[in-house]
């Protein structure tokens, strides 16, 4: 084989190996995208925000995250934050979620719920915690002293999932409607329905489970109990995709 033919052969081999490498990278990227899923916009704090700060466009930013990692109470559009203020100090880069914000227009309802915490529902007892959670539900059916069950729906990497009865017969200390992250500019909720910010009387173990659920669950849904119904079902009852 002449030197020229050898050079052509090496060049062709290099091109072939390069094409195979590119194909392998593209295949891996496609597989990763299938596992992670499409991305969605999430509103975050562009800078450190003090408690009570107004959410002007200049202090907000948009970042994209895989749908499966989107916080359940995150906001996706700047218009959804119009008129809201921070309820606590928020570090730069933090996802803005309903529990971190407050609506000054709803302050009267919030104050009334706060007074109820020390009223009919009574103060917390030793070993109890007041857990804050945002879930799908109708605030008109809830109030201090109401009792609820809580369903947690999770989704796995392959798109399957299941719903678990995560909390039973929990006492509501306060319930305040919040702007739904998927509401349009007129305030109408999309298919996810309305959201309620709840304060619940729970044990420490239940409080930890609720915190994990809010971070990783696809959806939390409230089931309101009939007054006087204290019956309990199977702890941890779960229904998965394909179950009868």
Length of the chain: 244
First to last CA, the chain: 70
| Cα gap 93→233, rounded to integer Å | 41
- Among 239, 152, 166, which Cα is nearest to 203's? 166
- Read off the tokens for 123: 């103060």
Neighbouring residues of 38: CB distance < 8 A, sequence distance ≥ 6:
66, 67
39-101 belongs to CATH 3.20.20.70: no
- Among 19, 13, 92, 1, which Cα is nearest to 49's? 92
Give the start-to-end residue ranges of the domains of the chain. Answer: 1-35, 39-101, 104-240
The secondary element (H helix, E strand) that includes residue 102 is strand 101-102
- Among 222, 202, 183, 3, which Cα is nearest to 75's? 183
| Cα gap 171→131, rounded to integer Å | 11
Tens-binned pLDDT, residue by residue, of the chain (244 aa): 677 777 777 787 777 777 767 666 666 666 655 565 678 888 899 999 998 898 888 899 988 887 766 676 678 788 778 888 888 889 998 888 877 887 776 554 445 544 444 444 456 788 888 888 888 888 888 888 889 999 988 877 666 778 888 888 999 988 888 765 555 443 444 445 688 888 889 998 888 888 888 777 788 899 998 877 777 777 767 777 654 4
């Amino acid at each position: 084989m002449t030197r020229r033919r050898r050079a052509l052969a090496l060049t062709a081999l290099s091109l072939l190996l390069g094409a195979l490498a590119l194909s392998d990278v593209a295949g891996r990227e496609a597989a990763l995208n299938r596992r992670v899923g499409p991305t969605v916009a999430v509103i975050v704090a562009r800078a450190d925000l003090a408690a009570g700060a107004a959410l002007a466009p200049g202090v907000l930013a948009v970042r994209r995250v895989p749908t499966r990692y989107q916080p359940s109470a995150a906001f996706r559009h700047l218009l959804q934050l119009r008129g809201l203020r921070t309820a606590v100090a928020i570090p730069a880069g933090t996802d803005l979620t309903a529990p971190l914000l407050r609506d000054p227009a709803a302050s009267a309802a919030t104050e009334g719920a706060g007074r109820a915490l020390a009223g009919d529902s009574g103060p917390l007892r030793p070993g109890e915690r007041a857990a804050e959670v945002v879930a799908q539900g109708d605030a008109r059916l809830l109030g201090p002293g109401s009792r609820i069950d809580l369903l947690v729906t999770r989704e796995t990497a392959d798109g399957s999932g299941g719903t678990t009865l995560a909390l039973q017969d929990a006492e509501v200390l306060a319930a305040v409607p919040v702007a739904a992250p998927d509401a349009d500019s007129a305030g109408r909720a999309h298919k996810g329905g309305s959201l309620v910010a709840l304060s619940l009387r729970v044990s420490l173990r239940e409080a930890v489970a609720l915190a994990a659920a809010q971070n990783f669950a696809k959806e939390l849904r409230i089931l309101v109990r009939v007054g006087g119904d204290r019956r309990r079902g199977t702890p941890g009852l779960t229904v998965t995709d394909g179950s009868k």
